[in-house]
Amino acid sequence: MRRVYLDNNATTPLLPEVLEAMRPYFAERFGNASSIHHHGQETRAAVERSRESVAALLGCRASEIVFTSGGTEADNLAVFGVAQAGDHIITSTIEHHAVLNACRHLEEKGFEVTYIPVEKRGVVDPADVRRALRPNTKLICIMFANNETGVVQPVAEIGKIAAEAGVYFHTDAVQAVGKIPVHVEEIGCDLLTVSAHKLHGPQGVGALYVRKGTELEPVQYGGRHERSRRAGTENVPGIVGLGKAAELALAGLERGDDQKMAELRNRLERELLRIEVSGVNGACENPHPTQTARCAGHPRVPNTTNIYFEGIDGEALVIALDLKGLAVSTGAACSSGAIEPSHVLMAMGLPLERARGSIRFSLGKQNTVEDVEFALAVVPETVARLRELSPVWNELRALSRELRATKNAAGDNGLLEARGSKLGNNSS
């Protein structure tokens, strides 16, 4: 059976070159990078080469890179490493749980946290960040690109606000690094998170950029690894894989791979939007006025589109598509046995049913035009079949016909709202 993987925001397959670079470090190059003998020196050199490669991708010094066990650890290190008792933190409602739950944990411990809401395009307004500043604000944590919508945030603008206020700025760039240019000086951030497995590197390894001079308390104690910022014997094969993935990502961006990726994503999106009563969640055309020149061409990262198909259950669609060989996802999470719709889509104000009927398609370097054609062959028919079985869809359809007949068409966008008012219940 043919299988096409369009869930690259969850994880990306290792590039063959990355696997080749890692291979010796699982076998003959096994030394502990802290050992002073030949074996240790060999792996130490490999770790330091990778540090250079990651630094080159982000435009920083190698000494500012701290290797971690992934994006989650890097996010946690940024939040817990900077915040001190009595501090106030500003973050947003659309962050990844690695930031949100770290902030919630601090709140339980008595810290003050402001969660900036977003409008329906899924963009944080820098003016809201400025307004949220307090005398005790220590840290602003706003992600670079959202993992569910791909929407790029006005991070350079927020970086300026943070610098003017003398507040640390951390950005979770896990979904941006390798897909679009990410340069710490242009962002003006003090801390930035990277995860290897989102850029065709291995799972379980990441990095935190820590601007020189940033006061960062470690969250784990042990040896003096990573300049005492992160104790623990280095994951050498993983770090080598991250370094190679960073090198390949930089070369790809220089070649304009991001443009090619956007063309592929745009074809997929354009064709899927022919499906009746569907639409893109989040910013997708004109960039937000506050986005900088660098971000302006990228209101979203080029690999992601999040689309709602009115009247279907997203989980059912994911399962039905998987049976046909197509891997995609919803941003839904399972909590206490119930499927919770994506907190990101809910934060953007989507009605519950629309959030439940939304699917994320995310491409990777391995995807081809044929993969997109495969998706375009299976998604429309699967949506149609599920809709036939859906009482919600049949009701929406009848309402749509009624609205058209009375020339009072609210348009596809108004359908849910019209249904809500007709039934006397608000579907959100």
Active site residues: 334
Q: Could you tell me the smallest distance in angstroms from the CB atom of residue 328 to ligand PLP?
A: 15
Site string for ligand PLP, 105-144 (x = CB under 6 A): --------------------------------------x-
Neighbours of 64 (CB within 10 A): 23
For ligand PLP, which is the closer residue by CB, 91 or 390? 91
Comparing CA positions, the residue from 368, 365, 370 lying closest to residue 15 is: 365
Stretch that binds ligand PLP, among 131-139, 171-179, 220-228, 229-237 (CB under 6 A): 171-179
For ligand PLP, which is the closer residue by CB, 129 or 344? 344
Q: Could you tell me the smallest distance in angstroms from the CB atom of residue 289 to ligand PLP?
A: 24
Query: Are the C-beta atoms of residues 261 and 271 closer than 8 Å to each other?
Result: no
Distance CA 122, CA 191 (A): 22
- Residue 299 touches ligand PLP, criterion: CB under 6 A: no
Q: Which of 98, 142, 240, 246 binds ligand PLP (CB under 6 A)?
A: 98
The residues, any chain, with a CB within 8 Å of residue 222's CB and separated by 6 or more, are 231, 232
Distance CA 271, CA 325 (A): 19
For ligand PLP, which is the closer residue by CB, 143 or 180? 143
Query: Are the C-beta atoms of residues 52 and 61 closer than 8 Å to each other?
Result: no
Neighbours of 220 (CB within 10 A): 14
Task: Looking at residues 138 to 167 of the shown chain, list those that interact with ligand PLP (rule: CB under 6 A).
Answer: 143, 147
Q: Could you tell me the smallest distance in angstroms from the CB atom of residue 282 to ligand PLP?
A: 14
Query: Are the C-beta atoms of residues 82 and 216 closer than 8 Å to each other?
Result: yes
Q: Could you tell me the smallest distance in angstroms from the CB atom of residue 94 to ligand PLP?
A: 10
- Residue 206 touches ligand PLP, criterion: CB under 6 A: yes
Q: Which of 42, 87, 172, 234 binds ligand PLP (CB under 6 A)?
A: 172
By CB under 6 A, the count of residues binding ligand PLP is 14
Q: Which of 71, 154, 218, 238 binds ligand PLP (CB under 6 A)?
A: 71
Distance CA 150, CA 175 (A): 7
Q: Could you tell me the smallest distance in angstroms from the CB atom of residue 277 to ligand PLP?
A: 29
Indicate the angle between helix axes 97-108 and 71-82, nearest 10 degrees: 30
- Residue 175 touches ligand PLP, criterion: CB under 6 A: yes
156-186 exposure pattern, b = at least 16 Cβ within 10 A, e = fewer = bbbbbbbeebebbbbbbbbbbbbbbbbebeb
- Residue 387 touches ligand PLP, criterion: CB under 6 A: no
For ligand PLP, which is the closer residue by CB, 71 or 126? 71
Query: Are the C-beta atoms of residues 70 and 197 closer than 8 Å to each other?
Result: yes
Distance CA 309, CA 276 (A): 8
Map residue 67 onto helix, strand or coil: strand
- Residue 342 touches ligand PLP, criterion: CB under 6 A: no
Distance CA 95, CA 76 (A): 13
Q: Could you tell me the smallest distance in angstroms from the CB atom of residue 67 to ligand PLP?
A: 12
Site string for ligand PLP, 177-196 (x = CB under 6 A): ------------------x-
Token code pair at residue 59: 């435009």
- Residue 72 touches ligand PLP, criterion: CB under 6 A: yes
- Residue 383 touches ligand PLP, criterion: CB under 6 A: no
Q: Which residues of the chain form contacts with ligand PLP (CB under 6 A)?
A: 70-72, 75, 96, 98, 143, 147, 172, 174-175, 195, 197, 206
